A and B are shown apart, each in its own frame.
Chain A
């Protein structure tokens, strides 16, 4: 039998082979006791522990289920279109009265048009909503992921580089943070589009979507970069990093294998909190005329269009408003729960 960590250790006195005996006493037969907590969690990674904590959090559960349902609905929008046989852009002008307001009660709600019709062009609100949610989520997720990826890369380099590179990156971060986002977006989006398309050309909706994602990412990587830089600076002197260097690891291994796994938690939290921020900002873009263009459905533009009818048909404003409210609230609550679950103090 070889000795293991659970069998008694070496005898208390061993001759040292140099004429003496080891004077230091061995009191406990087993190595230092493993704490109660560690025992309860045997075999679980820090990530698994966070997952367990998250699962116990009721707010997190409710928000996660809500989001899951909404995301699935958004992803299934083409299927819903098929099932209901109503396209989002299909105009039901015959169901509008002479003032272009939907016939019937509560904005034209009935068995066919569950959430009624849009005043003016007579489109089905439910289909606009479902597809609009897809647009919002796509933009918010894509922008959040791109922003995080840029932020992580730049933050890691800045944190590990020290010296002039760190200074230069910090300077760029400060500069970016000093820019007023909306004014910059107002200026840059038309300029870029002018560069790609002539005055008469119709700008494809997908181009505007990509432009919005790029603008968001361009402005939001800084938070992640700052955070990651701080984390890397805190970790780079840790001895496990030194151990990797002493074993001959290159910079890539140290950055991505040693450091990155330790900063996933804050990255995930900023990412999950960036999404709702982008959803609201994206909606606001419609109000300054740089949002998603027709015919792509968009929640922000729905609200913007509905404002002129709010007195005569408040339902038109209510549905997209409520959808954004629920999305943002659920994302924020989930992000907060995630932060609590990943709290490094309780994983060490």
Chain B
């Protein structure tokens, strides 16, 4: 299904315009602190939702961001597409600092970066037809594609595996999986270079998850899209992402290529997450790691290593010194004083 894809001949420069290997998106020390009021007297606290996260994504590359609910994945994703302003840190896209992009620069940027949302029900305007929803990005940017908006919308619907004749229908007439496809079509309308997918399948039935992930994978390859794919467990990103970053309580704790993360991760938290993946069969029932206790609140994170309250390897130094992100013997970059070594049992 490549012939009538997004890339129409003659409308886009052929071939990559950027030198291979140069990162498309670079994130340095990104933080987001939400001031919150608590208590009767309006004591203000600071939710450290994202607290110094760095990573980069190359053109056409897929990066997975994984961590338990509340660790700051959505906040990070929204900062990337500039739906949220960061508290500090720097975001560079194609060599340009976009951390504080405004006005026309931001509009241009928004054509290159798009987002797919988690909730297929809240993410589509219930009063708009599918055609209007998918055409919205074209409309707000004043783009009139060759052949007209309707033709383009129908192409996009077809591209995501929906019946192009359904452009006049309303979201309530579609199932969750179909709605998520509509969201994908909308994200593709502007031909972005990178898509942030915030748990795009978490709200769907397991059988439908696979279909939507397969669709995203096909699109990713055919359109040479870069992806930041957010998920709350390691199962979903397994076949989608070339590199994976694991987050815990606003921090990146380990980042590395897929094989290493799945076979011999250095960080205890990555190992714990991995043992929750059903088909990592090498781990017998005995080898399964059950995390004790709850995730601490980002209002008042633990000193030193944030994972120490639940880590079975924690020592005194873990409470007093924050482990720096360094290259570990397995090849990943991880933040741990006592990294694990060797393949998972």
**A247→B190 contact, CB < 8 A:** yes
Cβ of B175 to closest chain A Cβ, rounded Å:
4
- Return the CB mask of A236-265 against B: 1 if under 8 Å, else 0: 001110111111111001000010011010
Contacts of B166 in A (CB 8 A): 5
**B178→A5 contact, CB < 8 A:** yes
Please classify the interface of chain A as helix (H, G, I), strand (E, B), loop, or mixed, using the class held by over half of its residues: loop
* Interface window among A29-37, A118-126, A267-275: A29-37
**A347→B106 contact, CB < 8 A:** no
* Interface window among B35-43, B202-210, B335-343: B202-210
Cβ of B218 to closest chain A Cβ, rounded Å:
8
**B125→A4 contact, CB < 8 A:** no
Contacts of B96 in A (CB 8 A): none
Given A34-B175, A38-B173, A248-B110, check contact A18 B239 (CB 8 Å).
yes
From 161 to 192 in chain B, residues with beta carbon under 8 angstroms from any chain A beta carbon are: 161-164, 166, 168-170, 172-178, 181, 183, 186, 189-190
Given A24-B213, A240-B125, check contact A5 B163 (CB 8 Å).
yes
From 249 to 301 in chain A, residues with beta carbon under 8 angstroms from any chain B beta carbon are: 249-250, 253, 258, 261-262, 264
From 331 to 348 in chain A, residues with beta carbon under 8 angstroms from any chain B beta carbon are: 347-348
Bound-complex Cα distance A33 to B164 (A):
19
Is B260 among interface residues, defined by CB-CB distance under 8 A?
Answer: no
The residue from B122, B162, B209 contacting A5, defined by CB atoms under 8 A apart = B162
With both beta carbons as reference points, the residue of chain A lying nearest to B180 in the complex is identified as: A31
Contacts of B190 in A (CB 8 A): 247
**A43→B168 contact, CB < 8 A:** yes
**A42→B169 contact, CB < 8 A:** yes
**A46→B173 contact, CB < 8 A:** no
Bound-complex Cα distance A150 to B211 (A):
48
Bound-complex Cα distance A249 to B106 (A):
11
From 195 to 223 in chain B, residues with beta carbon under 8 angstroms from any chain A beta carbon are: 204-211, 213-215, 217-218, 221
Cβ of A261 to closest chain B Cβ, rounded Å:
4
Bound-complex Cα distance A27 to B170 (A):
26
The residue from B114, B173, B204, B205 contacting A246, defined by CB atoms under 8 A apart = B114
Cβ of A232 to closest chain B Cβ, rounded Å:
14
Given A24-B206, A32-B175, A261-B127, check contact A247 B122 (CB 8 Å).
no
Is A94 among interface residues, defined by CB-CB distance under 8 A?
Answer: no
Chain B positions near chain A (C-beta within 8 angstroms): 1, 78, 81-83, 106-107, 110-111, 113-115, 117-119, 121-129, 133, 136-137, 140-141, 158, 161-164, 166, 168-170, 172-178, 181, 183, 186, 189-190, 204-211, 213-215, 217-218, 221, 238-240, 242, 258, 279
A interface residues, how many (CB within 8 angstroms): 52
Given A2-B1, A24-B210, check contact A46 B174 (CB 8 Å).
no
Contacts of B205 in A (CB 8 A): 32
Bound-complex Cα distance A250 to B137 (A):
11
The residue from B129, B140, B208 contacting A32, defined by CB atoms under 8 A apart = B208
Cβ of A264 to closest chain B Cβ, rounded Å:
8
> Chain B CB within 10 Å — which of A23, A32, A261 has the most?
A32
Bound-complex Cα distance A28 to B176 (A):
14
Cβ of A156 to closest chain B Cβ, rounded Å:
15
The residue from A4, A22, A247 contacting B114, defined by CB atoms under 8 A apart = A247
Cβ of B289 to closest chain A Cβ, rounded Å:
21
Given A4-B161, A32-B176, A32-B178, check contact A258 B221 (CB 8 Å).
no
Is A312 among interface residues, defined by CB-CB distance under 8 A?
Answer: no
* Interface window among A8-16, A100-108, A159-167, A192-200: A8-16
Cβ of B230 to closest chain A Cβ, rounded Å:
14
